[in-house]
Chains A and B, each alone.
Chain A
């Protein structure tokens, strides 16, 4: 087994032992099941789940990423005193902590969807979209939390502060701010601006992808409507997927650079 695999495996062991992740998965399981029992038709429930997921997953992932990094300081020092490359340790830590969280989300949502029959027939694609987007957001925001932890390695308060501010901005303020801009600048053609600005926020991107999938752009904000108009469904999904991927790659690459250079 490679060193990378060993480090990843060791992270899994310690994460499962702390039971945090299991509780997180159970919350999604209970929520999805309850909604499916009492919340009406399949696509309505999937939308409700999406709305919870868009708020909840980024916050938990980012806090979890940064917290885990802060907790692993001695561990990092110990491993870097062994014949282990910094790059290997970095990927081992990231994969080791992000995949269990992603797994908990996927299992927590997938099981109720399966036993309520939404993983087959016409709901299948919509269900898969919600699952995939949640998984991508997990990977993106664990990477962001990780990066913030590395940037503020010795200053936890700043690290957590930025985490909360970034989450609040992306998840809560962003769409509202754009709406305000649109109202004040209503006389100008703003489609391009709206499209570009939604690309700059992964949560918005995920929101739009769901919207294109469910074809209910009118319900989910001005940005979505413009996006739909401009791209049409399938090209829109492709573009936003590419952007989500970019959102994963950039924090991870910057994080690796910081990790390779800093003092431990």
Chain B
């Protein structure tokens, strides 16, 4: 389980997270929703230890984060913008991360197949298209079969076919009991993939709970409508 208590973060006088309390349930998929600049990426980076919070604590499977690194053995992270060392070849990058983690890349071949990466393995990152870089990021984050997946806008930049394959994979992982945290601008996608919702607005948690609960509360049938309503209420 992932527990976040009273987490705050300010960048250059710009308060991005303002005292956030969240529990992300284990073995389920959670959608992290919020308008641009609401702190989704910062929150994800805080969970990875990339961003150091000003105050508050993050506990992941019993490990309280304070410069810890080993807990990340259980985490796969797919960043929003996939950029990798320019002059490294795809297979070299895979090999390097495998060596660093010292874990077996259980799903490597399967993911390379799904994302049609065989022909790209021998290319350097520099010549790879944005979509393929995204696929490299997806493969890197999922090939070690981690218990926890953090996916930041995973399908942005993927073609429809790959996007479908990707979602299929996520559904399978969810059934296998993985803890998944996912952000996306496509509400329909999140509706398909997740059971829990965390809605961030201006650095605070506006809603957290089940998808069904949110729809019921707002008397909407679609997630998009429910979120729009919450944002409107906030303005009023």
Interface residues of A (CB under 8 A from B): 1, 3, 6-7, 10, 14, 17-18, 71-72, 74-75, 77-86, 260-264
Contacts and interface: CB of A to CB of B under 8 A. Distances in A.
B48 A80 contact: yes
28 contacts: A3-B100, A7-B100, A14-B85, A14-B88, A17-B87, A71-B86, A72-B85, A74-B83, A74-B85, A78-B84, A78-B140, A79-B100, A80-B49, A81-B48, A81-B50, A81-B79, A82-B72, A82-B101, A83-B69, A83-B70, A83-B100, A83-B101, A84-B69, A85-B67, A263-B11, A263-B45, A263-B50, A264-B50
B50 A10 contact: no
Contacts of B174: none
Given A10-B96, A17-B87, A80 B67 contact: no
Contacts of A82: 72, 97, 100-101
B77 interface: yes
Contact of A86 (B67, B84, B87): B67
Contacts of B45: 263-264
B87 A6 contact: no
B50 A83 contact: no
B104 to A, nearest CB: 14
Nearest to B124: A17
B52 interface: yes
A196 to B, nearest CB: 38
Contacts of B77: 81
Nearest to B86: A71
A58 B192 CA distance: 57
A264 B79 CA distance: 12
B101 A75 contact: no
A80 B96 CA distance: 14
Interface of B: 11, 45, 48-52, 67, 69-73, 75, 77, 79, 83-88, 96-97, 99-101, 140
A83 B85 contact: no
Contact of A6 (B11, B49, B67, B100): B100
Nearest to B49: A80
Given A81-B72, A85-B69, A14 B52 contact: no
The residue in A71, A74, A78, A85 that gathers the most chain B C-beta atoms within 10 A of its C-beta is A78
B85 A263 contact: no
A165 B140 CA distance: 41
Nearest to A89: B69
A9 to B, nearest CB: 9
B51 A84 contact: no
A256 to B, nearest CB: 12
Give the one of A17, A77, A85 with max B CB within 10 A.
Answer: A77
B72 A6 contact: no
Contacts of B75: 81
A80 B47 CA distance: 12
A17 to B, nearest CB: 5
B51 to A, nearest CB: 4
B79 A260 contact: no
A109 to B, nearest CB: 28
Contacts of B96: 6, 10
A75 B85 contact: yes
Contacts of B67: 85-86, 260
A151 B222 CA distance: 46
Contacts of B88: 14
Contacts of A84: 69, 72, 100
Contacts of B51: 263-264
Contacts of B85: 14, 72, 74-75
Nearest to A3: B100
List the 8 closest A-B pairs by CB distance, nearest first. A74-B83, A81-B77, A83-B72, A263-B51, A83-B73, A85-B69, A264-B50, A75-B85
Given A83-B69, A260-B67, A263-B50, A77 B100 contact: no
A6 B84 contact: no
A41 B72 CA distance: 60
B58 to A, nearest CB: 14
Contacts of B50: 77, 80-81, 263-264
A72 B83 CA distance: 10
B136 to A, nearest CB: 11
A84 B79 CA distance: 17
A18 B84 CA distance: 16
